[in-house]
Amino acid sequence: MKLVEVELRRVRLPLVAPFRTSFGTQTAREALLVRVAGADSEGWGECVAMEEPLYSSEYVDGAQHVIRHHLLPRLFSAGDVSAARIAGLLAPVKEHRMAKAAVETAVLDAELRASGVSLGTHLGAVRDAVDAGVSVGITDSIPALLDTVAGYLDAGYRRVKLKIEPGWDVAPVAAVRERFGDVLLQVDANCAYSLADASRLARLDDLDLLLIEQPLPEDDLPGHAALARRVRTPICLDESITSARAAAFAINLGACAIVNIKPGRVGGYLEARRVHDVCVAHGVPVWCGGMLETGIGRAANVALAALPGFTLPGDISASDRYFRTDVTLPFVLQEGRLGVPTGPGIGVSPTSEALDELTVSTERITPA
Ligand code: NPG
């Protein structure tokens, strides 16, 4: 398609409850939605960068700047762009994978809408619904954590992930295991430990967890490999896996036995599928991570999570776990699962009422 106009729309969605991780507490999701328009098609993508560069170096103001000043000019001057060409066209710009992913997704959505093909079908989905997991932030007390988890299990979630950090790990996780029996349970440290904590992390081995996610800093693959030799619980990587090549490297090094795939973190859904393929080729299970997406990003994540290698439930929850009002019609749990959208492209669009209510700013960019 030839891009005629690109809209960068900032929306702000208050979270129904604060979400605390080892890198900070979120109370609202300020998301950047990208709408691309061609002569007779349009498509949407969501940039998952946070307001502050605390999860990774990207942040939403920076992403909007790089899209406007460095990514779009390259696409405008390329003439006819297809989603498959975008990574190559944008490769001269280093990193900024979340920004690139948002633009590529919007173009892919427009293309697929024009051809009447759903994203799930395009990527190779083999399921029409995916198991929903829920990520539970750090709470003020263990009783508060147990109440929170109980609410999610009552709602039907099929897997629970607990955020951990030094000082909030073995005791809360043990309390959840004891109270809720054989629930599928895993933990996520967001890089908060060092290899010196190996014996502490090994105490989680008795709690029968699916995995420990990203215990050490993202650049410490040798450390993760060493840790994997000292704990029985499988190590899963998130922040460290920035591409299919990075996944192959980490797997070959013995740094992980499971991979969390977040399309924004790896530069888009096409690279996410390559990460999936590399992991499947190595017999490594994958699951779809979440970044508090609105319905736009969620729709695409559900499609990705329907690929065959996604054998573990993802951080893909219903809209009401995050927001009172989503930008699209809400995703609703059905027996602990979310249906894969079947419409063309990502299969959902923002509603004009929600955009009116939630939009903070809109920037429209046309080729010079
Ligand atoms: O359900 O979308 C969700 C949240 C899942 O825990 C979750 N995401 O570290 O994986 C993470 C964490 C996160 C949230 C990371 C926001 C960055 C931003």
Ligand 1 centroid – CA 58 distance (Å): 14
pLDDT at 335 over 90: yes
Residue 135 Cβ < 6 Å to ligand 1? yes
Which pLDDT belongs to residue 309?
Answer: 98
pLDDT at 34 over 90: yes
User: What is the mean pLDDT of the segment spanning 46-72?
Assistant: 98
Which pLDDT tens digit goes with each residue over 162-203? 999 999 999 999 999 999 999 999 999 999 999 999 999 999
Which pLDDT belongs to residue 91?
Answer: 98
Which pLDDT belongs to residue 368?
Answer: 87
User: What is the mean pLDDT of the segment spanning 22-30?
Assistant: 95
Ligand 1 centroid – CA 368 distance (Å): 37
Which pLDDT tens digit goes with each residue over 88-98? 999 999 999 99
Specify the fold of 5-116+351-365. Answer: Enolase-like; domain 1 (3.30.390)
Which pLDDT tens digit goes with each residue over 103-158? 999 999 999 999 999 999 999 999 999 999 999 999 999 999 999 999 999 999 99
pLDDT at 332 over 90: yes
Which pLDDT belongs to residue 301?
Answer: 98
**Residue 263: which of 235, 236, 291, 283 has the closest Cα?**
291
Ligand 1 closest atom vs CA 137: 6
Residue 292 Cβ < 6 Å to ligand 1? yes
Residue 313 Cβ < 6 Å to ligand 1? no
Ligand 1 centroid – CA 292 distance (Å): 6
User: What is the mean pLDDT of the segment spanning 305-330?
Assistant: 98
Which one of 2, 94, 100, 262 is the catalytic residue?
262
For residue 100, indicate whether it is catalytic. no
Question: How many CB atoms lie under 10 A from the CB of residue 148?
Answer: 18
The residue whose C-alpha atom lies closest to atom 15 belonging to ligand 1 is 291
Q: Where are the domains of the chain?
A: 5-116+351-365, 121-339
Q: Spell out the alpha helix ranges (H) of 94-157.
A: 97-115, 119-123, 142-155
Ligand 1 centroid – CA 291 distance (Å): 4
Q: How many helices (H) and strands (E) does the chain have?
A: 14, 13
Tokens of 176: 């959840």
The residue whose C-alpha atom lies closest to atom 16 belonging to ligand 1 is 291
Ligand 1 closest atom vs CA 214: 9
Residue 290 Cβ < 6 Å to ligand 1? yes
For residue 2, indicate whether it is catalytic. no
Partners of 168 in beta bridges: 165
Which pLDDT belongs to residue 122?
Answer: 98
Which pLDDT tens digit goes with each residue over 209-264? 999 999 999 999 999 999 999 999 999 999 999 999 999 999 999 999 999 999 99
Specify the fold of 121-339. Answer: TIM Barrel (3.20.20)
pLDDT at 33 over 90: yes
The Cα–Cα gap between 247 and 225 comes to: 13
Residue 270 Cβ < 6 Å to ligand 1? no
For the chain, how big is the Rg over CA atoms in Å?
A: 20
Order the strands of the 286-288 sheet from edge to edge: 133-136, 159-163, 185-188, 212-213, 235-237, 258-261, 286-288
Confidence category of residue 316, pLDDT binned at 50, 70, 90: very high
Order the strands of the 5-21 sheet from edge to edge: 42-47, 24-37, 5-21, 359-365
